[in-house]
């Protein structure tokens, strides 16, 4: 809204304020309907109901959430929901999430997600979709888990990988880079290590604060932005949905947080292309699926160069495509601009790498049986006499 608002802007602003006061919000926060098809320790796999007008067909898409972030990152609000977009496009859509992490989960390390959660989700989705290969889309740490799972289990039925805002070279993350010399001085026995071990992980308030810190400038200017755009219903609805997302963040399990802290924040281990998991080296060069990599132009958590660093490491992939899209860490995935940028590029990628249906096997024309073809008399027959006889009697 301009400093001197126009009459129609005043009317729109008054309507928005009245709606906020009467109904408590402007955003349509109804979740897309879904059904749970599998669950285990910190693993819940959901299938989203297909559109009644479009239906669904083709290869399934599995959305992989990061730790600590609520799964509504993929279903933020109606009109800005990647799930809604995929379902409306007729794609079989699935999601894996982890539920609430508690103190009893403190001993779970990242190998739980790399070896158990993501591979099990991929296989479950493939089976549920009739054995088709799966397009896996991971955001943030969910993208890192997706890459490592694909590298660790080359036999997974994966059609393609799409990695959104996943930092590989942590030295290029401005929030972490200034702290690394200080972290190195502690040699793993400093205040941070003692704190997360005592707490059983990174507590929810700390995770929420770290996410907000990455958008500190927006946080400071937020009141002014709201005051000057009270007439913009879509803008206000997006802020409301993002606030709900931030409030829904959960804790990191203690051992997983420790591994991320020591190996990623301090050691920058993945920048070399390999990571030790469960006593063995897992190399990103082992990934044999095509990979689409997204970086957000204004992402403070995973800046462009920290994400781009993965591209030369994927030497085993038949194709690696790198895209810079507008938005911050969440905005690049499900912001208002993502509709015409990230989602469009993702659609083109999924269509390009969709599996081809197997051609129907043609039945050979029947021929008159000769003496050599009688059951049990032909030594070159593929089946034994008993098998052939059973088939012939059907």
> All domains of the chain, ordered by start, with CATH?
31-203+251-352 (3.40.50.1820), 369-394 (no CATH)
* pLDDT reading at 105 higher than 90: no
* pLDDT reading at 196 higher than 80: no
Q: Which helix (H) or strand (E) holds 295?
A: strand 291-296
Residues in the chain, overall count = 394
* pLDDT reading at 197 higher than 50: no
Q: Which pLDDT score, from 0 to 100, does residue 54 have?
A: 92
* pLDDT reading at 216 higher than 80: no
| Beta carbons of 166 and 302 less than 8 angstroms apart | yes
Confidence of residue 103 (pLDDT cuts 50, 70, 90): low
Read off the pTM.
Answer: 0.76
- How many separate helices (H) and strands (E) can be counted in the chain? 15, 12
Q: Which pLDDT score, from 0 to 100, does residue 23 have?
A: 53
Q: Cα dihedral sign for 271, 272, 273, 278? A: negative
Q: Which pLDDT score, from 0 to 100, does residue 192 have?
A: 46
CA–CA gap between residue 131 and residue 65 (Å, rounded):
23
Using DSSP, state whether 237 is helix, strand or coil: helix
The more confidently predicted of residues 258 and 331 is 331
DSSP3 helix / strand / coil % (the chain, rounded to 5): 45, 15, 40
Q: Looking at the DSSP assignment, which residues form a beta bridge with residue 93?
A: 61
Confidence of residue 246 (pLDDT cuts 50, 70, 90): confident
Q: Which pLDDT score, from 0 to 100, does residue 176 have?
A: 57
Q: What is the overall mean pLDDT for the chain?
A: 78
CA–CA gap between residue 153 and residue 175 (Å, rounded):
32
Among 205-209, 286-290, 368-372, the range of highest mean pLDDT: 286-290
Report percent pLDDT > 90 for the chain: 49
Nearest CA among 122, 171, 172 for reference residue 142: 122
The more confidently predicted of residues 17 and 241 is 241
* pLDDT reading at 392 higher than 50: no
Q: Which pLDDT score, from 0 to 100, does residue 9 have?
A: 53
CA–CA gap between residue 197 and residue 255 (Å, rounded):
8
Q: Looking at the DSSP assignment, which residues form a beta bridge with residue 97?
A: 44
Nearest CA among 306, 106, 79 for reference residue 203: 106
CA–CA gap between residue 302 and residue 295 (Å, rounded):
7
User: What token pair was written down for 337?
Assistant: 């601009």
378: Cβ contacts below 8 Å, ≥ 6 apart: 372
User: What token pair was written down for 251?
Assistant: 């804790």
The more confidently predicted of residues 194 and 166 is 166
The DSSP bridge pattern shows strands 274-277 and 280-283 to be: antiparallel
Q: Which pLDDT score, from 0 to 100, does residue 248 have?
A: 83
Confidence of residue 110 (pLDDT cuts 50, 70, 90): confident
Residue range 251-270: average pLDDT? 72
């Amino acid at each position: 809204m301009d400093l001197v608002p126009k009459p129609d802007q005043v009317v729109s602003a008054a309507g928005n304020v009245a709606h906020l006061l009467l109904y408590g919000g402007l955003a349509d926060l109804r979740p897309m309907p879904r059904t749970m098809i599998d669950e285990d320790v910190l693993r819940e796999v959901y299938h989203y109901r297909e559109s009644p007008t479009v239906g669904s067909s083709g290869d399934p898409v599995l959305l992989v959430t990061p730790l600590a972030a609520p799964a509504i990152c993929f279903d933020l609000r109606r009109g800005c929901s990647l799930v809604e977009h995929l379902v409306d496009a007729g794609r079989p859509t699935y999601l894996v999430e982890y539920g609430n992490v508690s103190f009893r989960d403190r001993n779970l390390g990242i190998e739980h997600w790399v070896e158990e959660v993501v591979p099990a989700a991929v296989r479950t989705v493939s089976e549920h979709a009739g054995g088709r290969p799966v397009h896996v889309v991971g955001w943030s740490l969910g993208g890192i888990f997706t890459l490592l799972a694909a590298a660790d289990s080359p036999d997974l039925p994966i059609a393609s990988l799409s990695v959104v805002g996943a930092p590989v070279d942590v030295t290029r993350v401005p929030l972490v880079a200034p702290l690394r010399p200080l972290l190195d001085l502690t040699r793993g026995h400093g205040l941070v290590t003692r704190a997360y071990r005592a707490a059983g992980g990174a507590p929810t308030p700390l995770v929420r604060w770290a996410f907000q810190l990455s958008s500190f400038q927006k946080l400071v200017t937020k009141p002014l932005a709201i005051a000057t755009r009270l007439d913009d219903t879509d803008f206000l609805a997006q802020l409301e949905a993002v606030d709900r997302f931030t409030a829904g963040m959960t804790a990191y399990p203690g051992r997983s947080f420790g591994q991320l802290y020591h190996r990623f924040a301090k050691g920058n281990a993945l920048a070399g292309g390999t990571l030790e998991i469960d006593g063995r080296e897992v190399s990103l060069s082992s990934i044999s699926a095509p990979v689409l990599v997204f970086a957000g132009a204004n992402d403070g958590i995973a800046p462009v160069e920290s994400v781009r660093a993965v591209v030369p490491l994927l030497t085993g992939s038949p194709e690696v495509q790198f895209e810079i899209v507008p938005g911050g860490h969440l905005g690049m995935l499900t912001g208002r601009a993502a509709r015409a940028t990230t989602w469009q590029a993702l659609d083109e990628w999924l269509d390009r790498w969709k599996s081809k249906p197997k051609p129907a096997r043609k039945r050979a024309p029947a021929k008159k049986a000769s003496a050599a073809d009688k059951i049990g008399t032909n030594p070159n027959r593929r089946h034994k006499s008993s098998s052939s006889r059973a088939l012939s009697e059907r």
